[in-house]
Amino acid sequence: MSLVLAFEDEAALAGALAAALGWPVEIVARHVFPDGETRLTLPPRLPGRVVLLRGLQQPNPKLAELLLAAAGARELGAARLELVCPYLAYMRQDTAFHPGEVVSQRHLGRALAAWFDAVITVDPHLHRVATMDEVVPGRRGIAVSAALAVGTFVAEREPTALLVGPDEEAAQWVQVAAAGHGMGHAVCRKTRRGDRDVEVELPALDWRGRAVVLVDDVASTGRTLASATRALLERGAASVDAVVTHALFVGDAVPQLHAAGLRRLWSSDSVAHPTNAFSVVPLLAGAIGSLK
């Protein structure tokens, strides 16, 4: 027997994933004490294979709970414990850019490898590391991409749109999304001066009268998308929409995007958000099924 185990804030995604797999689903009960510590309660008996669903948006408090949940699941019978983490945090810092910087990707990956037999995620922010297997040494790591699903979603709504990556890092996603449906694509250049200070340089194209859809893996403050939107509209684009895999959208990100002139904003359900418009469940279920 197998089981999907999840926290209450991700119950909807867990239910959809369990239905796709034909497995039961159970919810981890949480009690937060006044001092900030958490008591977790899991089902008293777990089957041999457990898939724990836990996204790591707003990661710091969740990591402590993830450690406790993994250890508790092992004690309660999970001989095979796999983490499905639709949004996997701390992947950007994959090298030390300055002396003394902690390489978070390396150390989080080692921790996950100690807690889980496999880790499945969606569109992780990997650059100097080729595969998720390298992130979780000695364990199975699977990264699935929502790029084709993004392309299908856009093609059904704006089939003549030009897909644009707001920075060079988005090139890998926008190319796949466009190629799957024969759509045109382009990539901008980004200069980041601070967490919320971003300038985007457009490629030398005629933007007049064009419908543009910005494509990115993750949006946090939204400043990169906002800067790209303003630049495109100033160059004469007829409309600018955006679609992202991971809708973090912290603080005033969404209002800032619409203030910049963005028309429509879509995301996958990897992170629960009002902009969710398509699902990563088929990708996750397929990855789980490959772990025979």
* Rounded Cα gap, residues 246 and 124, in angstroms: 10
Q: What tokens does 241 get? A: 């929409």
Helices (H), the chain: 11-21, 59-75, 104-115, 132-135, 147-157, 171-179, 223-234, 253-259, 281-290
Place of tokens 């359900």: 269
Q: What tokens does 157 get? A: 């709504």
CA distances for 148 relative to 61, 152, 169, angstroms: 32, 6, 17
Chain CA centroid to CA 203, Å: 27
- Residue 62 appears among annotated catalytic residues: no
Catalytic residue of the set 190, 210, 223, 273 = 190
> In this structure, are residues 240 and 262 in contact, taking their beta carbons and an 8 Å threshold?
yes
Q: How many CA atoms lie within 13 A of 17 on its CB side?
A: 31
> In this structure, are residues 52 and 86 in contact, taking their beta carbons and an 8 Å threshold?
no
If phi over 0 gives left and psi between -120 and 50 gives alpha, with beta otherwise, what is residue 138?
left
Catalytic site residues? Answer: 190
